[in-house]
Amino acid sequence: MFTIQDYVVPGTLEEAYRILTAKRNNTILGGCGFLRLGSQRIGTAIDLTNLNLNFIEEYDQVIEIGAMTTFRDLETSPLLKGYFNGLLPQAVKHIVGVQLRNIVTVGGTVYSRYGFSDLITALLSLEAEVELFKTGRVSLENFLENASEKDILVKVIIPKTAKKAVFNSMRNSQSDYAIVNVAVSKEGDRWLLVAGARPHRAKIARKASLFLANSSLSSEDIEHAANLAISELTFGSNMRASQKYRETVCKVLLKRAIGEVLACK
């Protein structure tokens, strides 16, 4: 059973970090959507509510999304609807229901590096960075690949590019986790092909992305890029699907997403 011994609402990030690192079982609370499903015995639960981390803000070069921003905020944000063909709202809107999305947070999701995550896949295709309180700013890609010590995710930073982007996922029941999800972005000649829920963590298919950038984007090229992506990424089996099926579908979704990106205005 999930238990909490003590509960604090710190007024500064410094304080939150100090408490977090004071004891091994001290824990940051995101929206608790996932936390509560485990049987964690939390020493001090740290509530970031008072740190003003619920924001989506636009700057010259970047868009910043605070750790305590909920998925529903992402989904309904006029700002985010206007960028990257509404990629981020698209990516989160399938997740269960409005009431859950009113709770679960960007910080809890990104920090946890969930393999099934739809948001992470989308953020990768935008070359997002994360700002951690202690570690500082690192690329999301880097963050996902390297285990780090306990830290607090403060915000996600998205370069304000002219990327066109598309998110797509395969779900059997529409409110289920994705069997596989993909995001594809393009800025000029630069392509990024990302696949997640394989069921492993989302990853950029570098070779395939590069190939596409230097190709003529014929249907053969697109087919080849999708094939490259499948061979450079690893896939696995779980209750939702076999490795083979994931590979098959991922390839199809990537091809389609590339096509859709090309069709974007």
Partner 1 sequence: MQIKVTINEKMMELEAPYDEFLMDTLRRYGFLSVKKGCNTGSCGLCTVWLDGKPVLSCSVLSVRVNGRNITTIEGVQKEAREFADFLVKEGADQCGFCSPGFIMTVLAMKRELSNPTEEDIIHYLTGNLCRCTGYQGQLRAIKKYLGVV
Partner 2 sequence: MRIVNQPISKIDGMDITTGKPVYTDDLAHGHELAVKILRSPYAFARIKAINLEKASRIPGVECILTYQDVPKTRFTMAGQSYPEPSPYDRLILDEYVRYVGDEVAIIAAVDEKAAEKAMKLIKVEYEILEPVLDFEKAIGHPSVVHPEGDVTVNMDIGMDKTKNIASSCKIEVGDVEAELKNSDVVVEGTYYTQAQAHAMMETYRALTYFDHNGRLTIVSSTQIPFHVRRIVARALQIPMGRVRVIKPRIGGGFGGKQTASVEVFPALVTLKTGKPAKIIYDRRETFACTTSRHAMRITVRLGADKEGNIKAIDMQALSDTGAYGEHAPTVFAVAGYKTLPLYGKARAVRYMGHAVYTNKMPAGALRGYGVTQGTFALESAINELAAKLQMDPAELREKNIIREGDAHPVLGETPEGKPVVLASSALDRCIKRGKELIGWGEKYPRKVVSDTKVRAVGMAITMQGSGIAGIDTASAVIKLNDDGFYTLLLGSTDMGTGSDTTMAQIAAEVLETTMDKIIVHAADTDISPYDTGSYASSTAYVTGNAVIKAAEDMKKKIIEAGAKLFGVDSEEIEFDGEFVRAINKHQSLSLDEMARRLISGEGKLQLVGTGTFGGDTSPPPFIAGFAEVEVDTETGKIDVIEYVAVVDCGTMINPNLVRIQVEGGLVQGIGMAMYEDVKYSERGKMQTDTFMQYKIPCRKDIGKITVDFEPSYEPTGPFGAKSVGEVVINTPSPAIAHAVYNAVGVNIRNLPITPEKVIMGIMEKK
Considering the complex, state which of residue 36 and residue 150 has its C-beta at the smaller distance from partner 1: 36
In the complex, the smallest distance separating the C-beta of residue 209 from partner 2, rounded to whole angstroms, is 22
Q: Is residue 174 a contact point for partner 1 (CB under 8 A)?
A: yes
Rule CB under 6 A: say whether 199 interacts with ligand FAD.
no
Looking at the Cβ atoms of 133 and 245, the one nearer to ligand FAD is 133
Interface size with partner 2, residues (CB under 8 A): 18
263, interface contact from ligand FAD, partner 1, partner 2, none, CB < 5-8 Å by kind:
none
- Starting at the edge strand found earlier in the chain, the sheet holding 203-204 runs 164-170, 180-187, 190-196, 203-204
25 forms part of the interface with partner 1 (CB under 8 A): no
Interface stretch with partner 2, choices 144-152, 156-164, 169-177, 211-219 (CB under 8 A): 169-177
**178-217 mask for partner 2 (x: CB under 8 A)?**
-x--------------------------------------
Dist. CA 228–CA 204, nearest whole Å: 12
Question: Which residues in 86-145 contact partner 1 (CB under 8 A)?
Answer: 93, 96-100, 102-103
Interface with partner 2 includes 253 (CB under 8 A)? Answer: yes
> Using the rule CB under 6 A, is 95 a contact of ligand FAD?
yes
Tell me which residues touch partner 1 (CB under 8 A): 2-7, 29, 31-33, 36-37, 42, 45, 47, 49, 72, 93, 96-100, 102-103, 174-175
